Structure 1
Amino acid sequence: MILELDCGNSAIKWRMIDGASLVVHRGRAVDLESLIAQIADLSEAVSRCRLVSVRGLEQTRLIVDGIRALAISPEVVTPAATLRGVVNGYDDYSRLGLDRWLALVAAFNRCRAACLVIDIGTAVTVDYVDASGQHLGGYIAPGLPMLRQLIVQYAASVSLPQREREVLQSNFAPARSTSPAVESGCYLMLRAFLNERLSQADSELAASYQVFVTGGDATIMNGHPDVIIAEDLVLEGLALALP
């Protein structure tokens, strides 16, 4: 089986796939220690490991060393100017985040057409790819965790209990206390940003296009017509980069 790891800023997402690319196991770890605990009993079945990381060199090295301690040798993806029909649109291609790059490569290879790729996690990224596979660039904005953290950081009296956040995700009526006011405000701000980017796609792509959404908070886009929620888009791109 193949072990695939997506080492993001706030968590390490992993899955194991068999020879037919069917997902056999999956998980999410908050740190290296919990990752090792989750995969240790499965390590003997691993014949290959693919890894993408947006963490710094030192943190990525620690993760690689931790995986190697299980007798697994990770293959780590690196930046590229072109990949599987997609041309990196950054002036310096090495500066485009690898998670963004792999997600838009996976999206384009799914549809082989113009696409808008949205990753909603700790940060939110939006990228445009035209019908020829040319990456036109994109945007980076704070995600819900960042927005909440900023408010708590700069307003010492504000606290946001997890229980209240879970209840309020679908309720955006004017709030009568601080916590729901913050939660609703963050959600509405993010949805407005994403709606504007969807509207912009009509002019940027100038053709029919598909919208792919991934990331831990991808459900924010539930209800939007013609939006494809793709949970493992980054890992799909990782498989294309290291086939």
Structure 2
Amino acid sequence: MTFLAIDIGNTRLKWTLYDAPRVGATLLAHGAQFLENIDKLAENEWQSLPAPSLMLGCNVAGEAVRYRIEEQLELWDIQPTWVYSSTEEAGLTNGYDHPTRLGSDRWVAMVGAYRRMLRAVAEGAPARPVVLVMVGTAVTVEAIDPQGRFLGGFILPGHGMMLRALESGTAGLRVPTGEVVPFPTNTSDGLTSGGTYAIAGAVYRMTEHLRATCQCEPLLYMTGGAGWKMLPHMSGQFELVESLIFDGLLEIAQQRFGLAGS
């Protein structure tokens, strides 16, 4: 029973095909495409894939993009199913004031992060709070307590968005190709370092908030397409888990479709 998982972000669509909708499933194929090029997936990347039996996805790019993907999914006889944020999923409780307004990618990634912590508990580790950082077009910094309650999260511009805002609002500045250094001595390094440390500072503050609230050391996870760029500049021992949204989709699929994990 093959399973297609789809993550539609603000810039790219990423997909993975597994041999089953369960945690620990074998990865059969995967790919990514910029949103402007998704209308030929059925003709190109997906044409030679084995037909999936089930599909589950998350989408933050809007209804028009979802319709375009559902047209591509007509290649197979499957019912498109999408994750929407809710009050509870896979043991995670949503503390947002309006739970359905939380971005589905954030929700799915938090499911993946929380269940990852629980698997460590099953192997003898203590339950711990979780800080989850997603680094993409935007950056989100989420806080989850050891009991699985999402306490809240920061949202801030991604690095590229910060730099473009400075370029458009400041005469003479151009998006730089600088380095991250402790003491920048040129404009390019100053802009690159400033954006990087702005994100790192927000993450540090959330980590401090969660440590004080839960009175124990949080687990630190990072994901997203630009996570590898941020990782060297973070305070604390972050684990980079590039597949976290897909891990969350597998967790949700396993519970919704009723298959046992491995």
With the length of structure 1 as denominator, give the TM-score of the two structures. 0.86
Q: What is the aligned counterpart of 2:151 among 136, 148, 158? A: 136
Match of 1:236 among 222, 225, 247: 247
Q: 1:233, CA displacement in angstroms?
A: 0.9
Residue of structure 2 equivalent to 1:174:
184
Alignment equivalent of 1:122, drawn from 131, 137, 143: 137
Check whether the contact 1:128–1:205 (CA below 8 A) recurs between aligned residues. no
1:28 counterpart residue number: 32
One-letter code aligned to 1:160? V
Distance 1:185 1:17, change over 3 A: same
Match of 1:188 among 197, 200, 209: 197
Counterpart residue identity of residue 189, structure 1: A
Q: How far 1:109 sits from its partner (Å)?
A: 0.9
Question: C-alpha distance in 2, partners of 1:135/1:12?
Answer: 26
The CA deviation string for residues 165-198 of structure 1, in whole angstroms up to 9 with x for no partner, is: 5xx3x5454133x333322221122222222222
> Does the aligned pair in 1 maintain the 2:164–2:175 contact within 8 Å?
no
Counterpart in the other structure of 1:213: 222
Q: Which residue of 2 aligns with 1:227?
A: 238
| CA 1:156–1:38: 2 relative to 1, 3 Å | farther
Between the aligned partners of 2:184 and 2:161, the Cα distance in structure 1 is 22
1:89 aligns with 2:95: yes
Looking at structure 2, the residues matched to 18 and 83 of structure 1 have their Cα atoms a distance apart, in angstroms, of 23
Aligned-partner Cα distance in 1 for 2:185–2:4: 45
Q: 1:197 aligns with which of 195, 201, 206?
A: 206
Against the structure 1 CA distance between its residues 41 and 173, is the aligned structure 2 distance closer, same or farther, given a 3 Å change threshold? farther
Aligned to 2:9: 8
In the alignment, the residues of structure 1 paired with residue 130 and residue 161 of structure 2 have an alpha-carbon distance, to the nearest angstrom, of 26
CA pair 159-24 structure 1, distance change in 2 beyond 3 A = farther
Quote how far apart the aligned CAs of 1:205 are. 2.5
Q: What RMSD, in angstroms, separates the aligned Cα atoms of the two structures?
A: 2.3
In the alignment, is the contact (CA less than 8 A) between 1:27 and 1:38 conserved in 2?
A: no
Does structure 1 conserve the Cα–Cα contact (< 8 Å) formed by 2:39 and 2:69?
A: no
Residues 34-53 of structure 1 correspond to what in structure 2 (within 5 A)?
Answer: 35-36=41-42, 39-53=45-59
Instruction: Tell me the distance in 1 between the aligned counterparts of 2:91 and 2:69.
Output: 30
Select 2:175's aligned residue among 154, 157, 160: 160
**Matched letter for residue 109 of structure 1:** R
Does the aligned pair in 1 maintain the 2:167–2:173 contact within 8 Å?
A: yes
SS in 1 for 2:245: helix
In the alignment, structure 1 segments of 5+ residues that lack a partner are none
Question: For this pair of structures, how many residues does the alignment match?
Answer: 237
1:16/1:189 CA distance change after superposition, 3 Å = same
What is the CA-CA distance between 1:146 and the residue it aligns to? 1.3
- C-alpha deviations, 1:108-127, integer Å up to 9, x for none? 11112321111111111111
Whether the 8 Å CA contact 2:92–2:150 is kept in 1: the answer is yes
Q: Equivalents in 2 of 1:173, 1:30: separation in Å?
A: 36
Counterpart of 2:95 in structure 1: which amino acid?
G
Which secondary structure does the structure 2 equivalent of 1:13 belong to? strand
Shift of 1:209: 2.8
- How big is each residue's C-alpha offset from its partner over 1:76-111, in whole Å with a ceiling of 9 and x where there is no partner? 122221111111101211011111111111111111
Q: 1:103 to 1:70 in 2, by over 3 A?
A: same
Aligned to 2:258: none
Q: Which amino acid aligns with 1:30?
A: F
Contact 1:129 1:205 in 2 (8 A): no
Structure 2 residue runs without a partner (length 5+): 119-126, 255-262
